Amino acid sequence: MVKQIRIHGRGGQGVVTFSELLALAAYYDGKCVQAFPSFGVERMGAPIESYVRISDEEIFRRDHITNPDYFIIVDETLLSNKSILNGLDKGDIVLVNSTKNEDDLRKYFAIYPDIKIKSIDVISLALEILGKPIVNTALLGAFGFLTGIVSASAIKKAIKEKLGDKGSDVVAKNIELAQKASDHFNPHKQFCVIPGEMGLAVIKK
């Protein structure tokens, strides 16, 4: 079965790079993949979409994705435009980059009561680890954990392949970022403050 993902963001937010990373990770998991963008006005900050199809069999479709299984919203300000939600259906998963929680975001999806909304502030994670608001690998880690479509090992391979020319330190930090975003949704991990330490400890149950 083909899984279809539609990504919404703005120019300069790395939407196309994210779709390429996701497709590459799926490829490393032995899947057939397809990834391509759709540009409107090609300028920084303009709304753009990108599409990814992942399947166990060869993919013959080449059209834009109008009825995705998964939505990824890189910029939550786009939610004010209701048309980007066209194609939402029962059981779909929407992953939103936001400081708001799922309950606060649900107002944007009032006519879609049966979807699953997942929220994560990937910008804060990226600033903490990379020192820059580059969110591709964080979204990749979060999406991989939430859906199980791509494995953690394939995500690491994709990051190494895509970012390898930027140096081993950049690769290591982006793998760390992907893992931390994954941990955000992992119910089998808990975080606690260590007295006297500036940070959090992760305890596996």
Q: How far apart are CA 137 and CA 189, in angstroms?
A: 20
Using DSSP bridges, classify how beta strands 189-193 and 32-39 pair: parallel, antiparallel or unpaired. unpaired
How does the average pLDDT of the chain come out, rounded?
Answer: 89
Domain range enclosing 98: 3-204
Question: Tell me, what CATH number does 164's domain have?
Answer: 3.40.920.10
**pLDDT per position as a tens digit, 56-72:** 999 998 899 999 999 99
Average pLDDT of the segment spanning 182-188: 86
Cut 0.85: pTM above it: yes
Percent of the chain with pLDDT strictly greater than 70: 89
Per mean pLDDT, which of 7-11, 105-109, 157-161 is the most reliable? 157-161
**76: pLDDT strictly greater than 80:** yes
Number of domains in the chain: 1
> Which pLDDT does position 201 carry in this prediction?
44
> Which pLDDT does position 126 carry in this prediction?
95
> Which pLDDT does position 42 carry in this prediction?
56
Q: Tokens standing for 34? A: 């397809």
